[in-house]
Every structure is written in structure tokens, then in C-alpha cells.
Amino acid sequence: MIGAVVGVNPFGGRGLSGTGPKAGGPNYLFRFSLVKDESGLSLMSGGPSFSLLEKARRRNEIVKVSLASKAMQQWQSTSIKARINILSGDDRSVLLSPETQAIALKNIAIPIELPGPTGEANQLSVHGRGVMLLLIRETDLLESALQQVGCALLCGCPLIIAAHQSLKPKLIRVMNNYSKDSTPKHLITIVGLDESVDLIQHPDISGVIANTADTNSQSLRQIIAKRSSSIIPLIEWPKNNQGYHYHWLLWFLSERTRTENLVARGGNTQLFNLTE
């Protein structure tokens, strides 16, 4: 965008130019902030290694991602309020805390109105980034994993859950509650953890969610870096409930800006008569 103004015309592409949010927008500074961590543990050293086993590529893994991508359009047309009702129904495991629901209703459901100093209307909205890959190891707590599921779905992202074999039966039972008439088919897909390396390379995967806290995540980051398509984020599970704040949810979202020239259709015509 030529002549973009900070705070008025957020700009920046997706994928190969970065993982967002847009430069000059109200969410940009969040990307440079972190919740204070007293442990001092580095992302690249200390703690056990977060490693994944590779296996031969199979065509059905590619098909699973494509089907999840098709489910995204229908799910994103569902309002935030409707998503909350689906994800926190009385007969289902509650995936969303009241605090997360309130954040979504305040910051995700309603577009942000930006200034229009030259007679235009500027609006910034957030939408699900795309298909997310959730990695669940044998040592991960199922309750915490379900919180990741809830946040991704709330933001409009279909999920492929790559889980350790010992956790798959219980996950399937829980997720079956959400795979009914109220949700699109293939919104949630459960596969083995050993399929995750190939799935990460699929161009439609838009992010990897993993419990990498207190681990050496270098090998996982190297797998993600091998992608030949868009740059995607590694989203770390929060360590506690305070970590599920708005700027963490932004990892699941991409921004869209819409500018409407009001002067061209007769609005704010006084701008034509400005004098020094």
C-alpha cells in the first residue's frame, strides 16, 4: 500500500511476508510482547527435546487437510456467539473458559473502526488463519489439549489433531460430541502423532500448536522451517489460565482491512475545499 498511515492503513501480506498482525495496526505491538517467564528457559536449549518421528508419506494425509480446508468456509460463516454456544453446550465438555468467551465477544466478533482522515472509512477485522495442526504427546494433559481445541475452533480454524496412540480413543469420544449437525463435516480430524511431520509440510496447514514449554523445540522448529510454502507460527500452549489472553489468540487469527472511499460517493465533501 503506497502512502499508508500508521494507525489508519495497516498493511502487510500473509504467508511468505510473515505471520502477522499487520504493521501499523492496533494489534501489531502485541507480537513484540511476552508474558514474563521466571524460568529463563531458552526456546532452543534446556529441557527435554520435543521430537517427532517421521514415516512414509501417504496420500490420505493430504486428503485430510484438503477436507479440513473445505470445512473452514462454512465454519467461519458461523458467528462468534454461535461458536461459543456450540463449544460450551450443556451436554458437552466445556472447551472455553468464561474469560476466553468474553475476550472473543469483545475483540474478535466486532471489527475495529480506524480513523479516516482523508475521507475514507477504515475497518480492521480478524478471521481464522486456516487449518491448524495440534500435536498431543503421551505426556500432555488431555484437559489442556482440549483448551487448545476450543481456542482454535473459537477463532474459526479447523483442526487436525495428531495425538499419541494412547490418547486417541478418549479424544475421539470427546470430539464426537462436536462432530454433529451443528458443525461442518471434517472440522475436526484425529490422526496419529507419527503423521505430523508430513502434515506440517502441507501448504494448507496454517499453524502448529504444541506444548513446547520447558522443552528444547529446536528440532520441531527445523521441521516447520523446511516448508516450501508459507511461513507458519509455532503456537505454544499457555502454562496457566492467565496465558489465554487476546494477544495469544492472535496467533490463530489473520487480519483483513477494508477501506471505503466516502469522498468518491459524496461523503465528507469539505475535504475538497481544504485551505492552508
CATH number at residue 185: 3.40.605.10
- Domain containing residue 227: 49-97+128-254
141-176 pLDDT tens trace: 999 999 999 999 999 999 999 999 999 999 988 888
Question: Taking a C-beta distance cutoff of 8 angstroms, is the pair 121, 114 a contact?
Answer: no
Whether residue 98 has a cis bond before it, omega within 30° of 0: no
Q: Is residue 35 assigned to a domain?
A: no
Side-chain half-sphere of 267: how many Cα atoms within 13 Å? Answer: 10
Looking at per-residue confidence, does 104 or 259 come out higher?
A: 104
81-96 pLDDT tens trace: 999 988 886 555 668 8
Q: Is residue 39 assigned to a domain?
A: no
Write the CB contacts of 148 (distance below 8 Å, at least 6 apart in sequence).
Answer: 134, 209, 237
pLDDT-derived band at 7 (thresholds 50, 70, 90) equals confident
Average pLDDT over residues 102-119: 86
H-run or E-run covering 159: strand 159-163
Looking at per-residue confidence, does 230 or 181 come out higher?
A: 230
pLDDT higher than 50, residue 140: yes
CA-angle at 19, arms to 13 and 64, nearest 5°: 100
189-222 pLDDT tens trace: 999 998 999 999 999 999 999 999 888 889 999 9
Task: Give the total number of structural domains in the chain.
Answer: 1
Q: Is residue 261 assigned to a domain?
A: no
Q: Is residue 176 assigned to a domain?
A: yes
Task: Please tell me the chain's helix, strand, coil percentages from 3-state DSSP, rounded to the nearest 5.
Answer: 35, 20, 45
Q: Is residue 181 assigned to a domain?
A: yes
Share of the chain above pLDDT 90, in %: 41
Q: Is residue 155 assigned to a domain?
A: yes
Q: Is residue 194 assigned to a domain?
A: yes
Measure the CA–CA gap between 247 and 106, rounded to whole angstroms.
13
pTM reported for the whole predicted model: 0.82
Q: Is residue 229 assigned to a domain?
A: yes
Question: Taking a C-beta distance cutoff of 8 angstroms, is the pair 139, 163 a contact?
Answer: no
